[in-house]
């Protein structure tokens, strides 16, 4: 039994499918003379990183298994230093004026073929070593990890050290019944994705990927955050029973589709859905979401060699807007960077991507790309109730810059006599401490706020949201976070604008009474959580929630807050009947 972070509820029982090797869709692009040196440097840096990785594995094997077994890694290191690989790749870059990963792919292909065709068996065996080394090398070069996803042809639980958002997005969904990763926390994108796909997941298991092999039987308990490998019949029977119980309870919740989110004393709230892909709007409807509180549009851009056209985006936004009616759909502009990258953009690797050219920053530095999206959103606004939202806004100047580009996009459409909603609400995510602290200023120039706690917590507490080693610091109940949320709500309400929350804190029933008591207007969560959130709200009392919030805000330590929440938080609501 392994214990990790419960990332997506439900119980999955199935065979393990390991994902670890590189399988990337690589694109060739032209590199100007002046940039060739940069490609060489990227290659050299990736060589260094790969040798360090192999050296570390060698040491580990030497210590845990023995020096003889570790010797194979010397051969790996030799391959990395071999001019047949490195010099040939560099020559290829120069000759073809192409990117390093494409050149590496081509050189590897030729090299592996040469070895495979050898009459010497020893040489033929080396072909596999070359593939192994170069796939690690490629991973360092592209900064991605991926696996042989195309091989999946039966229902499996996927086990990986890490999964990138683009990997999870490209998996054959009908085949994956569970996710397990070594790294990550509740708000890493694999966890969010798993919740929206309704696939049980446990993350942050440290090194489980080193303890299982393809074909092992695995139980994933996404509620308790536990994983059992090759369970005996008795344990298996226990989990099968729990699985059945969960499915039945979930079925009951789905029946709550039509009910409103109103507290016992008549205080009405909105429960909307977070979408990552346009198709998820159907799930949102199925679970009775009152519109879309966050459409993460970046997923339209992932896993493809070219950027989505204005037309394609327009169709996606229009579909979501129309299907959301009579409710609104909040479309968030591109949030790329952090842990999500676009291959066509070819942005340089950053030391601190979460603090780098991410989201609105990237859009403001690629105005043409930004305008394509803005025009698509504006055009779609004619067909439903779209609200537009900018992510990662750090302050008023950045907001004004984003609005200026929006005005240009509007002017272009007006000039072409293309219709759009002239009264479309404009809002921003409050996910940077600087935005939370200046919420009173920002509130004067937008129609709504949506609090993005996933980032707000990581930036406020300086605790990487995807790093399980600092997960103990990543706590929504830290008084600093609660003060920021309270301040944002007060500033917004002072300016008579409404506030939603689309970060994961909004999905946790334990938090519901506190958030209601602080004055939150809208909750937005993955579609499958909508019914339980409504059920929770319906079991609460607004007046009592306000008292709870007052008590909590008087606390000086996280521990004190947690004690109060344990006693009076909303977790009990899920067991109650409405």
Nearer to ligand PEP, 503 or 527 (CB): 503
Residue 521 touches which of ligand PEP, Mg ion, none (Cβ within 5-8 Å per kind):
none
Three-state DSSP class for 6?
Answer: strand
Contact between 298 and Mg ion per CB under 5 A:
no
Mask: binding to ligand PEP, 315-354, rule CB under 6 A, as x and -?
--------------------x-------------------
Could you say which of 337, 452, 531, 570 contacts ligand PEP (CB under 6 A)?
452
Spatial separation of the C-alpha atoms in residues 182 and 193, rounded to whole Å: 16
Could you say which of 39, 162, 431, 468 contacts Mg ion (CB under 5 A)?
431
Nearer to ligand PEP, 335 or 398 (CB): 335
Q: Under a CB-based contact definition with an 8 Å cutoff, are residues 198 and 246 in contact?
A: no
The torsion of the CA quartet 373, 378, 384, 388, rounded to 10 degrees, works out to 70
Residue 502 touches which of ligand PEP, Mg ion, none (Cβ within 5-8 Å per kind):
ligand PEP
For residue 207, what are the contacts with CB-CB under 8 A and spacing of at least 6?
Answer: 182
Sheet harboring 201-203: ordered strands across?
Answer: 2-3, 226-229, 217-221, 11-19, 156-160, 176-181, 201-203, 5-8
- For the question of residue 189 being annotated catalytic, the response is yes
- For the question of residue 98 being annotated catalytic, the response is no
Q: Is the peptide bond before 326 cis (omega within 30 degrees of 0)?
A: yes
Q: What is the CA radius of gyration of the chain?
A: 25
Three-state DSSP class for 287?
Answer: coil
Q: Which residues of 110-134 are buried (b: 16+ CB within 10 A; e: fewer)?
A: ebbeebeeeeeeeeeebbebbbbbb
Strands 448-451 and 426-430: parallel
Work out how close the CB of 435 gets to Mg ion at its nearest, in angstroms, rounded to a whole number: 11
Contact between 452 and Mg ion per CB under 5 A:
yes
Residue 460 touches which of ligand PEP, Mg ion, none (Cβ within 5-8 Å per kind):
none
The backbone region for 113, taken as left when phi is positive above 0, alpha when psi lies in -120 to 50, beta otherwise, is alpha
Contact between 4 and Mg ion per CB under 5 A:
no
- Active-site residue, selected from the candidate residues 189, 366, 478, 568: 189
Work out how close the CB of 136 gets to ligand PEP at its nearest, in angstroms, rounded to a whole number: 29
Work out how close the CB of 553 gets to ligand PEP at its nearest, in angstroms, rounded to a whole number: 21
Contact between 297 and ligand PEP per CB under 6 A:
no
Spatial separation of the C-alpha atoms in residues 302 and 276, rounded to whole Å: 11
Spatial separation of the C-alpha atoms in residues 46 and 52, rounded to whole Å: 10
Contact between 358 and ligand PEP per CB under 6 A:
no
Mask: binding to Mg ion, 512-541, rule CB under 5 A, as x and -?
------------------------------
Mask: binding to ligand PEP, 485-504, rule CB under 6 A, as x and -?
-----------------xx-
Work out how close the CB of 376 gets to Mg ion at its nearest, in angstroms, rounded to a whole number: 21
Nearer to ligand PEP, 156 or 329 (CB): 329
Spatial separation of the C-alpha atoms in residues 561 and 390, rounded to whole Å: 32
Binding site for ligand PEP (CB under 6 A): 294, 296, 335, 431, 452-455, 502-503
List interacting residues with Mg ion (CB under 5 A).
431, 452, 455
């Amino acid at each position: 039994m392994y214990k990790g972070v419960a990332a997506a509820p439900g119980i999955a029982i199935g065979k393990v499918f390991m994902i670890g090797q590189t399988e990337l869709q690589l694109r060739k692009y032209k590199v100007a003379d002046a940039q060739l040196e940069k490609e060489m440097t990227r290659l050299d840096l990736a060589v260094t990183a790969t040798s360090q990785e192999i050296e570390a594995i060698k040491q580990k094997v030497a210590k845990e298994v023995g020096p003889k077994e570790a010797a194979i890694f010397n051969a790996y290191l030799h391959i990395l230093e071999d001019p047949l690989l490195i010099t040939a790749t560099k020559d290829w870059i120069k000759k073809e004026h192409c990117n390093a990963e494409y050149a590496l792919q081509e050189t590897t292909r030729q090299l592996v073929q040469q070895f495979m065709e050898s009459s010497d068996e020893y040489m033929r065996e080396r072909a596999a070593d070359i593939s192994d080394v170069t796939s690690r090398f490629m991973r360092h070069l592209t900064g991605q990890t991926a696996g042989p996803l195309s091989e999946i042809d039966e229902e499996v639980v996927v086990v990986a050290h890490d999964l990138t958002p683009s990997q999870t997005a490209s998996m054959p969904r009908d085949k994956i019944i569970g996710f397990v990763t070594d790294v990550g926390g509740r708000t890493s994108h694999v966890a969010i994705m798993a919740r929206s796909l309704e696939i049980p997941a446990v993350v942050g298991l440290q090194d489980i990927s080193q303890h299982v092999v393809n074909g092992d039987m695995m139980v994933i308990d996404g509620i308790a955050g536990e994983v059992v490998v090759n369970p005996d019949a008795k344990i298996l029977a226990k989990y099968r029973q729990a699985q059945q119980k969960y499915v039945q309870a979930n079925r009951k919740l789905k029946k709550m589709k039509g009910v409103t989110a109103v507290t016992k004393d008549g205080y009405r709230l909105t429960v909307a859905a977070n979408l990552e892909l346009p198709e998820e709007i159907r799930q949102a409807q199925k679970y009775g979401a009152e519109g879309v509180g966050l459409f993460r549009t970046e997923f339209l851009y992932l896993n493809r060699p070219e950027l989505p056209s204005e037309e394609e985006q327009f169709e996606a936004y229009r579909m979501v807007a129309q299907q959301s009616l009579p409710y609104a759909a909040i479309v968030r502009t591109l949030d790329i960077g952090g842990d999500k990258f676009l291959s066509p953009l070819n942005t340089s690797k950053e030391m601190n991507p979460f603090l780098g050219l991410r989201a609105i920053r990237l859009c403001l530095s690629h105005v043409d790309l930004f305008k394509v999206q803005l025009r698509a959103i504006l055009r779609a606004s004619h067909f439903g109730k779209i609200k537009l939202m900018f992510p990662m806004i750090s302050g008023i100047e950045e907001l004004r810059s984003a609005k200026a580009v929006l005005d240009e996009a509007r002017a272009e459409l007006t000039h072409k006599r293309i219709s759009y909603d002239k009264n479309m609400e404009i809002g921003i995510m409050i996910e940077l401490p600087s935005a939370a602290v200046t919420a009173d200023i920002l509130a004067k120039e937008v129609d709504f706020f949506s609090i993005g706690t996933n980032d707000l917590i990581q930036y406020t507490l300086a605790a990487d949201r995807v790093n399980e080693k600092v997960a103990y610091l990543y706590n929504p109940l830290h008084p600093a976070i609660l003060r920021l949320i309270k301040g944002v709500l007060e500033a917004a309400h002072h300016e008579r604008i409404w506030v939603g929350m689309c970060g994961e804190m909004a999905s946790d029933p334990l938090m519901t009474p506190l958030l209601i008591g602080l004055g939150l207007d809208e909750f937005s969560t993955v579609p499958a959580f909508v019914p339980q959130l409504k059920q929770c709200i319906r079991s609460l009392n607004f007046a009592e929630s306000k008292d709870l919030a007052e008590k909590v805000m008087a606390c000086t330590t996280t521990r004190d807050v947690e004690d109060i929440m344990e006693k009076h938080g909303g977790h009990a609501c899920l067991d109650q009947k409405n």
